[in-house]
Amino acid sequence: MDTDRIDNKIFIPSDEEMKNQTALIGNYIICFEQISAFLRFIILKICYPDYSKTQNNNIEILLEGLTADPLRKKLEALIYDNFPEEMELRKLNNELSKKFEKLIPIRNSIAHGSILVCYNGFDGELSSDTFLLKHSKATKTGIDRNSMIINLNSLQRLISQTRQIDGAYSQLGVLIDKDINEENKELHLNLLKEKIKKIGTIELEFEKKITK
């Protein structure tokens, strides 16, 4: 690890280490937004299996401005109503939807919070392995710092889980195809079940937290 130290006490992260953290944070946001984009496509395919350009445009107009959670809920409702006989498909979609639901507030926290890369404390301590995520706000009883020190390992795990959720929704996209035969349907249902199982528990772990 490339490090500089002053008097063997104060750690100063390198430009490369700071860029690495920034890239990881951006990577997480991009991975998340890919899921939201794909949900729009699945909704289009359910409404118009052989969609035209006009139908595509219509769905884009109707879904304009919707964030991840409304898209998730609309997809749940569409699958429930459009696949009444597909009990396993509906069950797996609900399980996947719950995983994605857990991811949404984490994404919002990272996207809308204030981030200080390479911080390992609330008084300026530095590290190449952590960053500071802040949601400070003024209250009637003073400042609520609502800040956390996040380890990069936790973020990297979230990126992996986000990609797994994206992959599971891609599998779901195959299953809603009107031309899929029963043999392939069973195969892809099993693949979807395995993908969901591998995702695990969704959470953003923190090393330290401060409120006041």
In this predicted model, what pLDDT tens digit does every residue of 83-129 receive, in sequence order? 999 999 999 999 999 999 999 999 999 999 999 999 988 888 888 89
> Does residue 75 contact residue 42 with C-beta atoms inside 8 Å?
yes
Whether the per-residue pLDDT at 62 is higher than 80: the answer is: yes
pLDDT above 80 for 178: yes
Q: CA nearest 175: which of 21, 45, 36?
A: 45
Residues 100 and 70 sit within 8 Å (Cβ to Cβ): no
Helix ranges, 50-200 (H): 53-63, 68-82, 87-112, 152-175, 182-199
Give the C-alpha separation, 96 to 87, whole Å: 14
CB 162 within 8 A of CB 193: no
- Prediction pTM value: 0.88
Q: What are phi and psi of 25, to 5 degrees?
A: -65, -45
In contact, 18 and 118? CB cutoff 8 Å: yes
Q: Rounded distance, CA 127 to CA 146, Å?
A: 20
Is 144 a residue whose pLDDT tops 90? no
Alpha carbon of 57 to those of 64, 174, 175, 177, 178: distances in Å? Answer: 10, 22, 23, 20, 21
CA atoms within a 13 Å half-sphere pointing along the CA-CB vector of 118: 18
Structure confidence at residue 212 (pLDDT):
67
Q: What is the reported pLDDT for 50?
A: 94
Pick from 207, 177, 202, 206: which is nearest to 189 by CA? 177
